A and B are shown apart, each in its own frame.
Chain A
Amino acid sequence: MAFYDIIVIGGGPAGLSAVLRADKSGKKTLLIEREGRLGGILKQCIHDGFGVIRFGEKLSGPEYAERFTALLKSSNVQVSLWSFVTDIQHKAEDGFTVTYLCRDGVKQAQCKKIILATGCRERTRNQIFVQGDRGAGVFTAGTAQNLVNLEGVMPGRKCVILGSGDIGLIMARRLTLEGATVEGVYEAKSTPSGLPRNIHQCLEDFNIPLHLSTTVTRVLGDRRVEAVEICQVDKQMRPVKGTEKIVDCDCLILAVGLIPENEIATALGVQLDKRTKGPLVDQNLETMRTGIFCCGNALHVNDLVDYVSESGETAADGSCSERSGRCLIDIVADKAFSYNVPQKININDRRDKTILYFRSADIVTDKKVAVYIDGNCVFSKKFLHLSPPEMQRITVDLSSATSRKSRIELRMED
């Protein structure tokens, strides 16, 4: 059986940066990817805007991925494509035994550490309880993007988009460019879910209307979508009777949220965070099960790939260093935050440059985000504007949290 220091599962942006970083540290690594090409979802993201923070330029998804895959050639990383992990066992003496299927058969490999970079999946029509007929023509935005950009086929000619998540906005533009009519983007919330730049560049520039506080309640058409019923919703997101309207279309595209893929993590007994739906981690992105790390969208859904790559590197650094015994304390965030990653700090390890990602729970202006340790402010930064679609990143020195009784607090202040 082959032996590795680190096995990275998932060859998207998080996994690529993680495996390259670990390789650079001289570790023997294996990258397991379930598809036939590396790059993950970047392969189908042919729009630009990737890498502004990391490379200082606007790249397309495939170009961004290429920056990493190019480096693989000169590395010692072993890559196994078309490979699907079916089982992971852990024994104190052998470390992890990873079983995976590939075109050569059933393979097994052992390693000391595992980095999960399995990405995320899209919420489906059923999860948001869209009712009605079940004809063809209802796609998640990612599936529609795959069909248009990778297969080169049109999923619809007259589209309605439900949800103002970024992929939905990008697909509104993409479908318009390919000759489809986008009737409108409908968002149940009273504010858009996507980044402001996408609202401008994908909707406003193409005169595509955005209808807030409106949702799709029913699909009509038992063979192919013929129309959808839209309906206004109240503050509790419940449809308002009497506001139903039928919109003719042949396609409904759903951009209603992403969920970290945690099948492997769950099978390994990794504890998840109810808010992020990804694992609970410390500053090294090590999960509550020692030796298992998590990064990228499998950890929490990011809005910029640059941060995904960064988290891959953080996980790789964490998995490359040897440490004995963790002592974990919580970062306690107030209700103004929808979540923070990491959720825990290992006080037995370096924490002077802890990268903290967070999202605000609501849209707020002129707020200070502060970190307190035992009541003492160790970090404070003013934000002119915070909104849930925009993930924030701060670097904080948490060295003064020294005992298991230390209290680290994340607060939003005026």
Chain B
Amino acid sequence: MITSIVKKVKKKYNVDIDVTLTDRSVILKGEMSDWKDIVDVGKMFVDKKSNRRVVNDIVLKGYVPSKEYLPDIRDDSLQDTRWNVVVIGAGIIGCSVARELSQLNASVLVVEKHSDVAHGASGANDGMVHAGIDLKGKSLKLHYVVRGNAMYGKVCEQLGVDFRRDGQYVIFKDRLMRFLAKSMLVRARKHNIPSVTIIGKEMARLEPAVASYCKGALRIGSTGAVSPYKLTIAYAENACTNGVKFSFDTAVQSMVRVGRRVTAVVTNRGTLFADVVINCAGVFADKVAEMAQDRYFSIHPRKGTDLLLDKNAPDLPQHAISLSPTLKGMRANKNTKGGGIVITVDGNVLLGPDAIETPEREDVSTTQQSVDNVFNKQKLCFPPLQKSSVIAYFSGVRASTYEEDFIIERSGEVDNLIHVAGIQSPGLTAAPAIALDVKEMAVSALKDSGVDVTYKQNWQPVRKPPVCIRQLDRQTQQKYISQNPDYGTIVCRCEEVSLGEIKDAVNNNLGVATVDGVKRRVRAGMGRCQGGFCMPVVMKTIAQCKKTDISQVRKGDIGSNLCYGEIKDKYRREE
């Protein structure tokens, strides 16, 4: 079996791949000159029937990996601290897991190397809460996406996060697809995906701009929209309220493993001790596994770019729509649904994402090529789209395994290590369900470590939603402003965000006080002027609230200060 694949690779790419089989992995070694080929070779060795996962160590010829981001800070704030559970990574997974763990009478620490939660893929996500209709067969993805989707209404209500379930439409260009879509109805029933129907002419009535080509559509009623970073923030804040500690600018650098246990975790803020370690490190999950000498899977980064349109732009679609793949496309079996048009929970139209395999785990720079490709592709779906309506675009990197499925399990080799890895799309949808199971795994791992945990009597699952003046009726606005006049001072004119809301955002319980942090929490700077007017006020507010100098105010991570001290005089004296 393996030999025949090696032969196939030799024939197709003219390279010799060295293959090692272990109980849990098939490890590939070699050198190739094209990254995409390396990924393709990795995929060739996927065998879903076996328990072996692909560890692809084929290197790219001449490629020097970029330096990994490490926060430029070193202290002993965590030195010799002891925790029942340490969660590595504060994306949607780390934060949702932390929130479920906060039900326990246990000490929980989340370490995150960036300065805020949702820095990676969770912050650069289109926010679609998927139904899971595109998932076939048995997979963890399917299992968790269907459960997670069903949990969204309640979770978002508890956490005070906006959520809308407006459904999505997959449009058919030819009548044949309409016929084939009937198999989708069967699949939906089998997988417990509710409200899936096929519609005909109604689609053109809902979105007249698609009338020219639309031959019907698959309506998926359970698809929803959420702000991925606001949900992550809400999970983290609620976890924090319930006693979970967060340490930002904290990178895990190594682990001490003794026998079948991780005994210590070494960070730039000191060495700490944990009964149980949970790996939620996203694109670095395999690296974290390696630190515990437990690397039995590979993450191959896959970059995607999304485009955000101005709410006030003319000729915008009103519904989440995408083009159904053609038969040809279906045969090509791509790993992305090819993106689509999403209506974000904040009411913007979002286009995207694309899918580009890359060896770079942290490169979220945008390229004109991706921006153009995403735009042109979605223009096919909705012809009136105008490029001048684009107000922002951003990239994120998906953490994919070669099996293209989630890994959610206690390690087979390290008793107190849990991996929550390979959580790419639809990981956001799956997160609430994943978090519940991971909490159970942590409880049993703690038990195995001799720690019997109990549940808190006073756990507070409800997070009060932040004040959002623009969403309130006049009486309520009046009430808030009379209590605090800052709620009546609008600072971000595009998104109508008041000074009071900005102060609330700066004073969050996680202690995050950055301009990007404010932007994500209350949308100041997210509108069409992209912070041109409000950024100086936000900077000043952060400086005031944190009693620091304005030149200490950062956009995001350490080193991202927005300005350099006072003008001329002081600036020259300092030099």
Contact = CB atoms under 8 A, between A and B. Distances in A.
Interface of A is mostly: mixed
A152 B533 CA distance: 16
A147 B530 contact: no
Contact of A103 (B365, B489, B528, B531): B489
Given A126-B392, A224-B561, A105 B571 contact: no
A241 to B, nearest CB: 12
Contact of B365 (A84, A132, A142, A153): A132
Contact of A104 (B364, B392, B488): B488
Interface in A130-150: 131-137, 139-140, 142-143, 146-148, 150
A178 B568 contact: yes
Interface stretch (B43-51, B140-148, B169-177, B551-559): B551-559
Contact of A127 (B69, B391, B494): B391
B482 interface: yes
A201 B392 CA distance: 35
A131 B368 contact: yes
B364 A82 contact: no
A25 interface: no
Interface in A304-327: none
B394 interface: yes
A133 B367 CA distance: 9
B371 A155 contact: no
A132 B312 contact: no
A136 B560 contact: yes
B496 interface: yes
A146 B531 CA distance: 12
Interface stretch (B82-90, B291-299, B414-422, B473-481): B473-481
B219 to A, nearest CB: 31
Contacts of B362: 222
A179 interface: yes
Contact of A106 (B312, B367, B481): B481
A223 B368 CA distance: 21
B365 A154 contact: no
Nearest to B475: A106
Nearest to B550: A153
Interface string A34-52: 1000000000000000000
A275 to B, nearest CB: 14
B481 A129 contact: no
Contacts of B366: 131-132, 134
Contacts of A129: 368, 371, 390
B70 to A, nearest CB: 12
Given A121-B529, A136-B562, A146 B496 contact: no
A104 B481 contact: yes
A84 B485 contact: no
The 9 closest A-B pairs by CB, nearest first: A84-B490, A136-B555, A103-B485, A223-B559, A223-B560, A124-B530, A153-B563, A136-B560, A105-B481
6 contacts: A129-B368, A135-B555, A139-B535, A152-B566, A223-B559, A263-B493
Interface of B: 69, 312, 362, 364-368, 371, 388, 390-394, 469-470, 474, 477-478, 481-482, 485-486, 488-490, 493-494, 496, 498, 528-533, 535-536, 539-540, 550-551, 554-568, 571-572
